[in-house]
Amino acid sequence: MYVVEFASAGVKDDAMNDGIEELASHLGTAERIVFITGAGMSTESGIPDFRSATGLYATGLNEDMFSIDSFTQDPARYYRHGRDFHRCLFQAKPNAGHQAIAALATDMGKDVVVVTQNIDTLHRDAGSPVVHALHGSIETCSCMRCGESTHVSLVERAIRNGIAPRHSACGGIYRPDIVLFGELLPVDVLAEAEQAIGAADLLVVVGTSLVVHPAAALPDSRGDGCILVMLNRTATHLDPEADLVLRGTVGDVLFRAVSGSPSAGHRATGHANEPPALRSGSVSA
């Protein structure tokens, strides 16, 4: 195992550069790449995680508020208390890491599957073609009375104002199509994720400490020859099994690794070191 640890983006450190180079080399060689991403993927887009010191729970929200029991009992309360969180999700933009992952598929022709625990739509917004959202996403809402599904943009105004949106045709309240506490993960999505991981020759785990099951066991689906890379701010139980462990700023590391991977630029028309889908302005120097 090779652990590379560094404090912040932009630090010119040999070990960090070597680690990023090694990741770039894996990305260049691999044909089928799966990324498993968690909250740490989106914190650089301004979306708070749940459990960290600056996370949602520190602001007075709690697990109960995001439970199916609590939601069913009092949906209005859920929307009232979740207003700021929802606004944050609606406003967030993909960061350099989301864009780097998307560019691997769209600009470098890699077979890339994203398996995410995040309910934001940032991987899709960045352009990643295949995203399995284990916990659903805020992209759609379903009427709790008749089951009708609607795009969130049609009810976004109510949600932004902390008001429970209603289906005009039947009067039922819309729920976000996310997996609330107390609900099971969608089995079809989980099966597709496992299948993709089983076929991968490179698995990169980004921004998740993999403590929540069943997502925590997903890397076990990987095949014998699959390279495992961990990119997190903190240590995880999988680090000892990994071929490469990087600890640092997710967006910066992925951006630099993708920019420097051997296949970067072979279909690019812009700057030689920068895949065209990446906006250099979004990276803090």
Catalytic positions are 135
What secondary structure does DSSP assign to 79-133, as a single string?
Answer: HHHTHHHHHHHHH----HHHHHHHHHHHTT--EEEEEE---S-HHHHHT-S-EEE
Number of residues that bind Zn ion (CB under 5 A): 7
Residue 170 binds to Zn ion (criterion: CB under 5 A): yes
Q: Decide: residue 137, CB within 10 A, 0-12 exposed, 13-18 middle, 19+ buried.
A: buried
Residues 107-136 that bind Zn ion (CB under 5 A): none
Nearer to Zn ion, 81 or 145 (CB): 145
- Of the candidate residues 80, 83, 145, 233, the single one contacting Zn ion (CB under 5 A): 145
Residue 175: beta bridge partners?
Answer: 142
Which DSSP state fits 262?
T
Q: How far is the CB of 165 from Zn ion (least distance, A)?
A: 11
Backbone φ, ψ for residue 138 (5° rounding) = -80, 5
d(CA 50, CA 42): 12
Residue 146 binds to Zn ion (criterion: CB under 5 A): yes
Q: How far is the CB of 150 from Zn ion (least distance, A)?
A: 9
Nearer to Zn ion, 126 or 143 (CB): 143
Nearer to Zn ion, 165 or 265 (CB): 165
- Of the candidate residues 172, 182, 186, 276, the single one contacting Zn ion (CB under 5 A): 172
Nearer to Zn ion, 146 or 211 (CB): 146
Q: How far is the CB of 159 from Zn ion (least distance, A)?
A: 16
Number of C-beta neighbours around residue 146 at 10 A: 11
